[in-house]
Amino acid sequence: MKVLSQSSPFGSRTRTRILITLELLGESYARELARTLGASLSVVQKALRSLELDGLVAGRAVGRTRTYVLNPGYFAARELRQLTRRLAEADDELSAQARKLRSRPRRSGKPL
């Protein structure tokens, strides 16, 4: 089953896909999420800010990068993870994109 393009149980399609991607990756940062989702960085940053204000994601600074995870302190964290896992199962394209990614940002100046 494919998740419909208009499917947005978390307020917008971008917010929903960010939550699904964070479930798949465990932890990510705005630029990586933007590349994965094919969205602009500013749209992803705005969605992350609103998700953090709603308590669904937790962000922390790692050097100069802010990383995000699904908030383990959220009152319905277990249910949120179950739902995002189910939505991820239904979105083969997003799951494939997430499998291709690195788990952390590359150190600047590091050779490929």
Give the model's pLDDT for residue 93.
85
Q: Which two tokens stand for residue 46?
A: 């705005």
The bridge status of strand 65-70 relative to strand 28-29 is antiparallel
Structure tokens at 12: 């917008």
- Residue 74 belongs to what domain range? 13-94
Decide if 111 is inside a domain: no
* 108 found inside a domain: no
Examine residue 1 and state whether it is found in any structural domain, yes or no: no
φ, ψ for residue 22, nearest 5 deg? -65, -35
Is residue 90 one of the residues assigned to a domain? yes
Q: How many domains does the chain have?
A: 1
In a domain, 35, yes or no: yes
pLDDT at 92: 84
> What torsion do the CA atoms of 37, 42, 48, 54 make, to the nearest 10 degrees?
-130
CB-CB neighbours of 47 under 10 Å: 26
CATH of the domain at 32: 1.10.10.10
Per-residue pLDDT of the chain (112 residues; tens, 9 = 90+): 455 555 678 889 999 999 999 999 999 999 999 999 999 999 999 999 999 999 999 999 999 999 999 999 999 999 999 999 999 888 888 888 887 775 555 667 766 5
In a domain, 80, yes or no: yes
Structure pTM?
A: 0.82
49 located within any domain: yes
Residue 60 counted as domain residue = yes
* pLDDT at residue number 6: 55
Cα radius of gyration rounded to whole Å, the chain:
14
pLDDT of residue 60: 96
Contact 86, 94 (CB under 8 A): no
